[in-house]
Amino acid sequence: MIKKIVLWTLFAAFVGLIVFGAINRTNAKLEDQSPEERQSSQSQGEDGNRGQSGKEANESTTDHEGELLENLPTPSSTEEAAITIASAESLEAFVGDSAHEWVTLTGAVVSVTTKTLTLTLNDGQTLLIERRPWRFAQENGFTTAPGNQLEIIGFYEDGLFQAAQIHDLTADLLVRLRDETGHPLWASE
């Protein structure tokens, strides 16, 4: 009888430690996010592009304003890279797809960090490219600087803008983030 009590007590303690560890890990991952980012990350996972304007954008970008871009690994060959010099063929890749209503947004880069690319669009709204899409662009050697003009092709999904291609008009560099059907290119890695 005492043996069963001890074993069940050990089992309950083990389960409690597992639950405590899971909660602790989740809190550590969400530690540097604002409440708005926590809510949107719970609903959208790794597809983290979103358009914001005004106060929300200022609050979320100030968290990372002081960070400098790190030296990120670059692809070993040009075949692996999603970044190219812009050409007419690459710019027309998203025209014929009927699954998404492709939208082209143009604006100026406000800030660039390792976590976020912030743009002010021509209509005055703020657009953030962050999380996995921005990491994928950086991993493939895409860089830009504040003041550069960008053209971003993408689509709206559940009210959030999903970037498919970023074209730096100033440096004439292009990085593709999604294929013609909207599928993320980082998912095929």
Judge whether 89 lies within some domain. Answer: yes
Please give the pLDDT value at position 75: 41
Residues 26 and 73 in one domain: no
Residues 51 and 23 in one domain: no
Do 55 and 26 lie in a common domain?
Answer: no
Same domain, 111 and 167: yes
Residues 54 and 123 in one domain: yes
| Residues of the chain falling short of pLDDT 70 | 30-99, 189
36 inside domain: no
Give the whole-angstrom CA distance, residue 182 versus residue 96.
12
Helix/strand number for the chain, H first, E second: 5, 8
Domain count within the chain: 2
Together in a domain, 65 and 158: yes
Same domain for 52 and 27?
A: no
Full-prediction pTM beyond 0.85? Answer: no
For residue 187, the model assigns a pLDDT of: 86
Exposure string for 20-30, b = 16+ CB within 10 A, e = fewer: eeeeeeeeeee
pLDDT tens per residue across span 16-63? 999 999 998 887 776 655 444 544 444 444 444 444 444 444 444 344
Sheet holding 126-130, edge to edge: 49-52, 126-130, 116-121, 103-112, 149-157, 160-168, 173-176, 83-85
**Among candidates 142, 162, 167, 164, which has minimal Cα distance to 95?**
164
Q: What is the pLDDT of residue 85?
A: 55
Domain that holds residue 8: 1-31
Tallying the residues shown for the chain, one arrives at 189
37: in domain: no
User: Quick one: 16 and 69 in the same domain?
Assistant: no
Please give the pLDDT value at position 166: 95
